[in-house]
Amino acid sequence: MTKEQNLERRESNRSQQPSNGAFREFIGSDWGERPPGPERAAVADYLPARHAKLSERFPGVRLVLPAGGYKVRNNDCDYRFRAHSAFAHMTGLGGELEPDAVLVLDPVEGGHEATLYFHPRASRSSEEFYADSRYGEFWVGARPSLAEMAALTGLRCDSIDRLDDALAKDLGQGHVGLAVVPQTDAGVEAKAEELRRRAGLAEGAAQADAELERALSEIRLVKDEWEIGQMREAVDATREGFDAIIASLSRATGHRRGERVVEGAFGAKAREEGNGTGYDTIAASGNHANTLHWIDNDGPVAPGDLILVDAGVELDSLYTADITRTLPVSGAFTDDQAAVYQAVLDAADRAFEKAQEPGCRFVDVHNAAMEVIAERLESWGLLPGTAAQSLAPGGGYHRRWMPHGTSHHLGIDVHDCAQARREMYVEAELEPGMVFTIEPGLYFREDDLKVPERLRGIGVRIEDDIVVTADGAERISEGIPRTIAGVEEWMAAIAGR
């Protein structure tokens, strides 16, 4: 009779690991010196100020920020790990570092003390060294030690094995509360729920967690100097990606799924220069550009079409650019394409001008762009009334062809600060250090009978990344050509290489 295998050991079907002491001693011996550990990261100098902003909002509350863990792609294969954005922002850890780690800000007199709990490197004499496919050095490389992680981040560090005791300490006594970033790590959340129940803190726990999540979003509304530097680097890398896209167009036009060729050209550059893409690339040729979130990218790229590409490189720090350029596949715009393109460009420029005005609110940027869009649509005879009527309450007819917002905050998330309160985001005045997009568009579907036939199938979006400065605002993506002449010259220069 065959003995039934324990379900937890099914992974051993693919390989056999010796477990005897002699083998462990053999595999753990005669290894050379490890290379020097990491130097202190530049971002470490900015972490105390970020922690202090959060601490001010939650006196006496233990704040728990999990990194999250791996997510299953299929069977025993996981997606590449990416830490929760709040954890990355508060620890400075990007790339694929530290799945299952947890940052705890413990209330102390005068504020909070931060401790990073993670799974440190095991010794070479341990079974983990060669047998653990999640943490073992043979499988995933050498992990940092406690001392190395402390040197890198400037944070106090401890083993994840001590997390439970740290969460439970003095809970409910001396007014020590507990808040956890929700929907990041089910195990940590379950532990916190049990501890709060025992300490009589279960009532209001969900609200406390939501307030923590919101505060972590709002703190990121204004970027520090290091973050703005990262945004500039991400935009520079994204320019290289768009160069690669233009260079790929000749091959894309000969491929049955030319949009995938374009997507792949950008994705390769994103992995070379950063952590990857900050979001799924949109490579939408022809009428596909009129589907706002076209990420199938499985269509042809035809000569004479426009191709709308919305893409951004995410750096190892996890900060991402977000750029859209609409390119004429053949290298030059037709008159009709140019007319639509210029309308969108004028809307983007009007919005940027507005952003530089003192007292400008975030929503004012969108409204400025819509004024141009509505005016141009009126001039083409597409609106049922005037531009002013469309822009007035109860109108909105222009939104048939420009249905999305013009701007969103940008940073460690492509749609950054999404949990912030409306009065802190949409209705707030722009402040130095805010980073956001300006991205108007016009989308004329080829089956839209309200549009003149000559314009059907044309979709245009132009998106740039903006930083608010003490003097107004700066378009940090200015180096990526955006005018009609600039785009045509850019494409001709790359084609002539």
Q: Which two tokens stand for residue 89?
A: 């922002």
The overall average pLDDT reported for the chain is 95
Side chain identity at residue 235, one-letter code: V
Q: Is residue 163 part of a domain?
A: yes
Rounded to an integer, what distance in angstroms lies between the CA atom of residue 147 and that of residue 205?
34
Q: Are residues 421 and 327 in the same domain?
A: yes
Number of other residues whose CB lies within 10 A of the CB of residue 157: 22
Whether 129 maps to a domain, the answer reads yes
Q: Strand pairing of 61-66 and 177-180?
A: parallel
Residue 35 resides in a domain: yes
114 and 258 both lie in a single domain: no
> Who contacts 152 (Cβ-Cβ below 8 Å, separation ≥6)?
37, 38, 39, 40, 41, 44, 144
Residue 60 exposed, middle or buried by CB count within 10 Å (0-12, 13-18, 19+)? exposed
Domain end, chosen from 155, 185, 218, is at: 218
Same domain, 158 and 305: no
8 in a domain, yes or no?
Answer: no
Check which CATH number belongs to the domain holding 122 and give it.
3.40.350.10
Q: 81 and 175 share a domain?
A: yes
What's the CA gap between 368 and 474, in Å, rounded?
17
Query: Tens-of-pLDDT digits for all 497 residues of the chain?
Result: 555 655 555 555 666 677 788 998 999 999 999 999 999 999 999 999 999 999 999 999 999 999 999 999 999 899 999 999 999 999 999 988 899 999 999 999 999 999 999 999 999 999 999 999 889 999 999 999 999 999 999 999 999 999 999 999 999 876 789 999 999 999 999 999 999 999 999 999 999 999 999 999 999 999 999 999 999 999 999 999 999 999 999 999 999 999 999 999 999 999 999 999 999 999 999 999 999 999 999 999 999 999 999 999 999 999 999 999 999 999 999 999 999 999 999 999 999 999 999 999 999 999 999 999 999 999 999 999 999 999 999 999 999 999 999 999 999 999 999 999 999 999 999 999 999 999 999 999 999 999 999 999 999 999 999 999 999 999 999 999 999 999 999 999 999 87
Together in a domain, 189 and 51: yes
Same domain, 243 and 318: yes
Number of domains in the chain: 2
In a domain, 246, yes or no: yes
φ/ψ of 492, rounded to 5, equals -65, -40
Query: Does residue 11 lie within any of the structural domains?
Result: no
Helices 47-57, 205-219: axis angle to 10 degrees equals 140
Q: Which of 168, 184, 218 is the last residue of a domain?
A: 218
| CATH number for the domain harbouring residue 366 | 3.90.230.10
The tens digit of pLDDT for each residue in 66-116 reads: 999 999 999 989 999 999 999 999 999 998 889 999 999 999 999 999 999
Q: Are residues 204 and 238 in the same domain?
A: no
Q: Residue 33 domain-assigned?
A: yes
Give the residue among 330, 342, 339 at the shortest CA–CA distance from 306: 330
Instruction: Identify whether 399 is part of a domain.
Output: yes
**Judgement on whether residues 366 and 401 belong to the same structural domain of the protein:** yes
pTM of the model: 0.94
Handedness of CA 226, 227, 231, 233 (dihedral sign): positive
The boundaries of the domain holding residue 189 are 18-218
- Asked if residue 210 and residue 257 are part of one domain, the reply reads no
- Give residue 222's Cα distance to chain centre: 16
Cα Rg of the chain, angstroms: 26
Same domain? For 212 and 340 the reply is no
306 plus 177 within the same structural domain: no
Last residue of a domain, one of 218, 251, 266: 218
C-alpha to C-alpha distances, 470 to 177, 431, 433, nearest whole angstrom: 39, 8, 9
Shared domain check, 89 and 212: yes
